[in-house]
Structure 1
Amino acid sequence: MIWSLLFVRQLALTLWLGGLVVIDFVETPIRFRVPEVNRNQVVAIGRRVFAALNKLEVIAGAILLLSDALLLPHFRAGVRPLEQSAMETVAAMWLAASVQLVWVRPRMSALTRGLDLVNRDPADPRFAKIGRLHKVYSGLDLLKMLLGLLTLALWVHP
């Protein structure tokens, strides 16, 4: 059972962190460079992609937290503090993903719906709001990546 829980938690973090890195650093930049797709279409696709990613992240975080909670009693005393710290970093990742899912992304999506991003008017105050929300979203993504790497480092204990 311990081996299965370790496998599940590592798979969940791999999918979460890997998906986050691929979408943020590969898929999104490519999507903006496709000449056959205009900015309105790029944003519409992005809404769907990030909605799916946010759901995956919250599910992966719940799986990680559950497996960590079940594993913690099985670790020897010297390792427990590292595992507890890893569990706390996963909890922080999960919280960041949850904030994106229920607060940041829905607000950004609502602001961009019906907004012409091709012939945009820079004076439209919605663009400033979208920009601020996008910075919050991007900051939370960066935080999740750093916490995910920290979690991996804590799992690779002596």
Structure 2
Amino acid sequence: MHAGSAVAAAATFMWLGMVLAISFLEAPLKFRAPGVTLQVGLGIGRLVFRALNACEAVLAVVVIAGLLVGRTAAAAVVAAAVAVAMLAVQLVFVRPALTRRSDRVLAGADGPRSRAHLVYVGAEVVKVAALIVTGVLLFTAAA
């Protein structure tokens, strides 16, 4: 395996693990903990997802750099591009809407649930699939 491809594969699986652990494990479970109100859960979630998204951005850069210097199959590049695009959609379009909604809830407002949350989760599912495909293609191309 070329060093660039190895770095891209490692960063891909690290990114995948972080998304699975935070988005699909921590996020839903925190609201089940005793004494965690909606406001406390939202406050924690904002901090955690801000940190996650910063780490994801760094890992996306590492994956892209690894793909650029490695000998990589076009399919792996396309899959990685899908993951990066989903992250961009989340950061540029969905997170601002979620932040506005959580600002209102934290200020005590009530109202309908945000559809932006469903869009974020949908993008997470697509991103997870793209990261799995990217990582598997990087490993199988080296075999």
Bin of the TM-score, shorter chain as denominator length: 0.7 to 0.9
Question: Per-residue displacement from partner, 1:100-134 (whole Å, max 9, x unpaired)?
Answer: 112211221122114259x874xx3xx34x2x100
What one-letter code is carried by the residue in structure 1 that aligns with 2:98?
Answer: M
Aligned residues: percent identity? 29
Partner of 2:125: 142
Q: Which amino acid aligns with 2:132?
A: L
**What's the RMSD between the two structures over aligned residues?**
2.0
Question: 1:143 is matched by which residue type in structure 2?
Answer: V
Matching residue's letter, 1:45: I
Confirm or deny that 1:56 pairs with 2:55: yes
TM-score of the aligned structures, taking structure 1 as reference length: 0.79
Tell me, yes or no, if structure 1 residue 39 matches structure 2 residue 38.
yes
Contact 2:13 2:135 in 1 (8 A): no
User: Which AA in structure 1 matches 2:134?
Assistant: T
In 2, Cα distance between equivalents of 1:23 and 1:134: 15
> Which one has more relative contact order, counting CA pairs under 8 Å at least 6 apart?
2
Rounded Cα–Cα distance in structure 2 between residues aligned with 1:34 and 1:41: 11
| Structure 2: gaps spanning 5 or more residues | none
Runs of 4+ in 1 over 4 A off after TM superposition: none
Structure 1 unaligned regions, length at least 5? 73-79
Which residue type is aligned with residue 98 of structure 1?
A
Q: 1:56 deviation in Å?
A: 1.5
Aligned residue identity for 2:51: A
Partner Cα separation in structure 2 for residue 148 and residue 95 of structure 1: 12
